């Protein structure tokens, strides 16, 4: 049928880990552990959505981090340095990621609704397989288990912003057309991934990296601060090319209904 029959979901900040804190906090710790270089959570968020080795490499190219690195070590960050930070990052992330496996409010109900409509649930992540092998069962114990998942190091072609992880889900799930898929993500590289795969794209402005707050921080925020952060996050995701931007995954069924009407009129992403 000419309607959405699969969604491809990101993990941190989209389905689990409100605010996407598991990876960001570990980047800060890994930089300090490997080389004693301080970075901020805000800096750690900038390349979010990339594979983690690529994320570390991109962090080293941020002007503020590059200047700090040069001042401390007298040279730019090298690939060997990225390898060393990644080696510190991996065991920390594997150990900590299970603490951030709780599904975001509304996720399990939304997944149930989608499955009742016959919609398949794919997923992919900037996490490597070793981290996903810890995260996936931990999330399943708390009620979230997609039909398929792909890690950023699973495919020889690479990860985001390329389309390959999303397209691997299409193959595994037996989806008949990429235009019948929605890629859902809270970060710019994940939106680019969906666009490059020819899919509809949905950005999440409140639960993820762009908003950048814990659930408790969000609950305690003033309405004015929530509105300001939401607007900034929405603008970032729309600039990346998102077809739609909503607050959390709980609003996905309504977006699917809108896209189904557009598909019925012959529209494509």
- The Cβ of residue 98 has, within 10 Å, a number of other Cβ atoms equal to 16
- Phi, psi (degrees; rounded to nearest 5) at 146: -70, 170
17 counts as catalytic: no
Determine the Cα–Cα distance for residues 171 and 168; give it in Å rounded to an integer: 5
Q: How many CB atoms lie within 10 A of CB 60?
A: 21
The separation between the first and the last C-alpha atoms of the chain, rounded to the nearest angstrom, is 17
Choose the catalytic residue: 17, 52, 153, 186.
Answer: 52
182 Cβ partners below 8 Å, 6+ apart? 4, 6, 7, 8, 194, 199, 200, 201, 202, 252, 255, 256, 259
Q: Mark whether 153 is an active-site residue.
A: no
Q: DSSP readout, 150-196?
A: B-TTSSTT--TTSSHHHHHHHHHHT-S-GGGEEEEESSHHHHHHHHH
Ramachandran angles phi, psi of 245, nearest 5°: -135, 130
Bridge partners of 7? Answer: 121, 182
- Among residues 10, 17, 81, 153, the one annotated as catalytic is 10
Q: For residues 260 and 98, what is the distance between their CA atoms, to the nearest angstrom?
A: 36
Helix (H, G, I), strand (E, B) or coil at 109: helix
Residues labelled catalytic: 10, 52
């Amino acid at each position: 049928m000419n309607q959405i029959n699969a969604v491809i979901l990101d993990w941190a900040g989209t389905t689990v880990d409100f605010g996407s804190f598991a990876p960001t906090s570990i980047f800060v710790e890994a930089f300090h552990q490997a080389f004693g270089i301080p970075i901020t959570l805000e800096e750690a968020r900038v390349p979010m959505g990339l594979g983690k080795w690529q994320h570390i490499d991109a962090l080293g190219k941020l002007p503020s981090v590059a200047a700090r690195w040069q001042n401390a070590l007298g040279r730019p960050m090298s690939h060997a340095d990225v390898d060393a930070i990644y080696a510190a990052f991996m065991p920390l992330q594997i150990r900590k990621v299970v603490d951030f496996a709780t599904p975001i409010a509304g996720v399990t109900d939304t997944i149930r609704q989608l499955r009742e409509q016959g919609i398949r649930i794919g997923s992919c992540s900037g996490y490597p397989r070793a981290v996903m092998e810890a995260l996936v069962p931990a999330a399943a114990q708390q009620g979230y288990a997609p039909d398929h998942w792909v890690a950023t190091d699973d495919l020889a072609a690479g990860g985001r912003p390329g389309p390959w992880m999303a397209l691997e889900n299409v193959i595994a799930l037996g989806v008949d057309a990429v235009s019948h898929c929605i890629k859902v993500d809270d970060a710019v590289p994940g939106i680019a991934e969906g666009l490059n795969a020819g899919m509809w794209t949905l950005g999440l402005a409140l639960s993820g990296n762009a908003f950048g707050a814990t659930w408790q921080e969000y609950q305690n925020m003033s309405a004015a601060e929530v509105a300001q952060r939401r607007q900034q996050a929405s603008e970032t995701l729309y600039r990346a090319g998102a077809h739609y931007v909503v607050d959390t995954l709980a609003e996905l069924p309504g977006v699917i209904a809108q896209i189904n009407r557009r598909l019925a009129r012959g529209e494509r992403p």
